[in-house]
Amino acid sequence: MINGQSILPAIRDMRDLERFLSSDFELGVLLEIHMSRLDSIFKLLRKHDKKVFIHMDLIQGMKADEYATEYVCQTFKPFGIISTKGNVIVKAKQNDVVTVQRLFLIDSTSLEKSIKHIERSKPDYIEVLPGIVPKYIQLVKEKTGIPVFAGGLIETKEEVQAALAAGASVITTSNRKLWSD
């Protein structure tokens, strides 16, 4: 769990944002947002006492690099930053923001390379995608010693429970049917 939540709602559009703002969740994940909307979204979040991880790689109109990361961290002060890029993770950590490095499990080579990148960037959390493979959630947690988020392709409460039982700290999902604790 993180902040008492086992589910982190992943917000893809304004309908998701509205639902998140009216929910009991304190913490969510902001995905696929245009950079021009960041100011108004963060004002709404503050007004409703909500916090978000912002996925730097998915901000439209902004390059996901250390300069954009520093700008986002200093201007909007998100709870956390998510990225696949080690340089983004390092810059967010320098700005005292919680970090999550996303790891896509495609094959054993991608797993090995990702673990080497994680050893260099030292994120606070790792997000394993797809999150429907409990064996690898447990393996990544054991190999790195870093808490794991599970996300991607999780569609049922049973898959949520399996990921949590495998050692995931939290589930990230845009599936609104699963947005209940």
CA distances from 53 to 23, 113, 135, 142 (A): 17, 24, 26, 24
Give the C-alpha separation, 92 to 106, whole Å.
26
The confidence band for 181, taking pLDDT boundaries of 50, 70 and 90, is low
Q: Is the dihedral of CA 35, 37, 41, 42 positive or negative?
A: positive
Peptide bond preceding 134 in cis form (omega within 30 of 0): no
Separation CA 26–CA 120 (nearest Å): 30
Predicted TM-score (pTM) of this structure: 0.95
Indicate whether 153 pLDDT > 70.
Answer: yes
pLDDT given at position 61: 96
> Cα angle at 64 between 60 and 67, to 5 degrees?
120
- 65-122 pLDDT, tens digit per residue, is 999 999 999 999 999 999 999 999 999 999 999 999 999 999 999 999 999 999 999 9
CATH top-level class of 7-178: alpha beta
| Residues 28-45: b if buried by 16+ CB within 10 A, e if exposed | bbbbebeeebbeebbeeb
Assess whether pLDDT exceeds 90 at residue 5.
yes
Q: Where are the domains of the chain?
A: 7-178
Q: Are 141 and 150 in contact (CB under 8 A)?
A: no
